[in-house]
Amino acid sequence: MIGIYIGLDVHKRTVYVTEMNENGKIKERYEIVNRDESWNEFIQRYRTCEVEIALETSTSGKYAARLLRDNNFSVHLADPSNLALIFRSAKKNDREDSYKLAKLLRIGELPEVHISSRETDDLKTLVRYRRSLGEESTAIKNRIHAILAMHGIAIDESDIFGKRGMRKIEEAISKMTAAENIVMSDMLEKIIELNRRRQMIEDEIARISNNNEEAKLLMTIPGINVYSAAAIISEIDDIHRFDSKEKLASYAGLVPRQSQSGSRDQRGHISKNGPSMLRFVLVNAAHMAIKYSKRMKIKYLKLVKRLGKNRAIVAIARMLAETIWTMLSKRIAFYDEIGSLTEKKIESMRMRSLRPNV
């Protein structure tokens, strides 16, 4: 039986604590400083008690949740957007917020969000940073394309940022003004550096994923490599927290919004709820899946006539999310797996995992 319910209103510098018993009576209220020493005292105070702890999802709240979780406390992260719907009160302060968290937790009405494992958090950090490097590199490449176009320069290479393409760009910028030469040279150096950092992060992702059976299963899908497999795993965490394939698709924000009243049932664009990283990877993978999977290609060709290309691809991304739920839940490979391609991807992951840390 739970003896104590605690609501924590966590801020950057302070934490307000409300302690409530199983009957809803407030036992104590107090404030602590958001520092390691104060958290150590808090942990020691409740270490031997039967405690349930609730706090809101925020940058400071996530840190506190992970700290308490790692010290074997039962921690519940609340979704602040849903909390606002439950408590429509003008009275809002640290004392009141911590009380509401403790009360909702005690009566079983706390709108919770998932707390991922530390291993998943680490993988998610790497994956999201890898995406930011890619976005930064793309922005610089677009600027280079614009400057080349402004001078009427066309680089005759399939990948102008490959070795041969880069050499041709360097030759071209030597004919530009001194200022443009400086800017273009600096941007080319940044691309080289970003590529080096991207490869370093991908090597670390490969090291983490090399012995992960879920990653290997996901890589049986054409269009999903070690990076995208790691991204999916880091955003899903535990597939068993989703009761059905539809719930995973909904979590990815790939289901249409619905407005229903009486006999009227309207469905609009996808909700875009949930992690954008998961949706981004699934949509990208969908483009490859329709090329290599017969079943998904047939489905896509039927949808594209009715919905158009963009909406059809999103529908395939949803189909892919539902397929992934089945694969991970039942531990089975993709139904249209290309064995030789899977072997190549897994071998590439293994080789990258063996590279020394830079």
Residue 259's pLDDT is 42
240 Cβ partners below 8 Å, 6+ apart? 329
CA distance 245 to 322: 5
Residue 270, phi-psi category: left (phi > 0), alpha (psi -120 to 50), beta (remainder): beta
Residue 90's pLDDT is 53
Do 75 and 53 meet the contact criterion of CB atoms below 8 Å apart?
yes
Domain finish residue from 113, 142, 176? 113
Residue 185 lies in a domain: yes
Residues 205 and 233 in one domain: no
Residue 115's pLDDT is 85
Q: What percentage of the chain has pLDDT greater than the value 90?
A: 73
Residue 270 lies in a domain: yes
Query: For the residues 156-170, what does the mean pLDDT come to?
Result: 91
Residue 33 lies in a domain: yes
Query: Does 83 score more than 80 pLDDT?
Result: no
Residues 84 and 69 in one domain: yes
Domain of 332 in residue numbering reads as: 213-353
Residues 98 and 42 in one domain: yes
Residue 195 lies in a domain: yes
Query: For the residues 258-282, what does the mean pLDDT come to?
Result: 66
Residues 252 and 315 in one domain: yes
Residue 86's pLDDT is 55
Domain finish residue from 177, 209, 241? 209
Residue 262's pLDDT is 45
Confidence of residue 88 (pLDDT cuts 50, 70, 90): low
Residues 137 and 228 in one domain: no
Query: Does 84 score more than 80 pLDDT?
Result: no
Which CATH number do you get for residue 39?
3.30.420.40
CA distance 23 to 105: 12
Query: For the residues 334-355, what does the mean pLDDT come to?
Result: 95
Confidence of residue 270 (pLDDT cuts 50, 70, 90): low
Residue 269's pLDDT is 62
Q: Would you list the DSSP string of 22-78? A: TTS-EEEEEEEESSHHHHHHHHHHHTTS-EEEEEE-SHHHHHHHHHHHHTT-EEEEE
Residues 276 and 234 in one domain: yes
Confidence of residue 91 (pLDDT cuts 50, 70, 90): low
Residues 174 and 42 in one domain: no
Do 97 and 16 meet the contact criterion of CB atoms below 8 Å apart?
yes
Residues 217 and 333 in one domain: yes
Query: For the residues 225-237, what does the mean pLDDT come to?
Result: 96
Task: Kindly report which listed range (150-164, 254-268, 296-310, 334-348) carries the lowest average pLDDT score.
Answer: 254-268
Query: Does 317 score more than 50 pLDDT?
Result: yes
Query: For the residues 91-105, what does the mean pLDDT come to?
Result: 86
Residues 98 and 161 in one domain: no
> How does the average pLDDT of the chain come out, rounded?
90
Task: Kindly report which listed range (129-133, 174-178, 202-206, 317-321) carries the lowest average pLDDT score.
Answer: 174-178
Residue 358 lies in a domain: no
| Count of structural domains within the chain | 3
Residue 260 in 3-state DSSP? strand
The phi, psi pair for 150, rounded to 5°, reads -65, -30
Residues 88 and 191 in one domain: no
Show the beta-strand stretches assigned E in the chain.
4-10, 14-21, 26-33, 51-56, 74-78, 112-113, 256-261, 264-270
Q: What percentage of the chain has pLDDT greater than the value 70?
A: 92
Query: Does 1 score more than 60 pLDDT?
Result: no
Query: For the residues 271-276, what does the mean pLDDT come to?
Result: 76
Residues 239 and 290 in one domain: yes
Query: Does 354 score more than 60 pLDDT?
Result: yes
- Higher pLDDT among residues 293 and 2, named by residue: 293
CA distance 192 to 195: 5
Query: Does 161 score more than 80 pLDDT?
Result: yes
Residue 158 lies in a domain: yes
Residues 10 and 95 in one domain: yes
Residue 200 lies in a domain: yes
Domain finish residue from 113, 128, 161? 113
Q: How many CB atoms lie within 10 A of CB 91?
A: 9
Residue 134 lies in a domain: yes
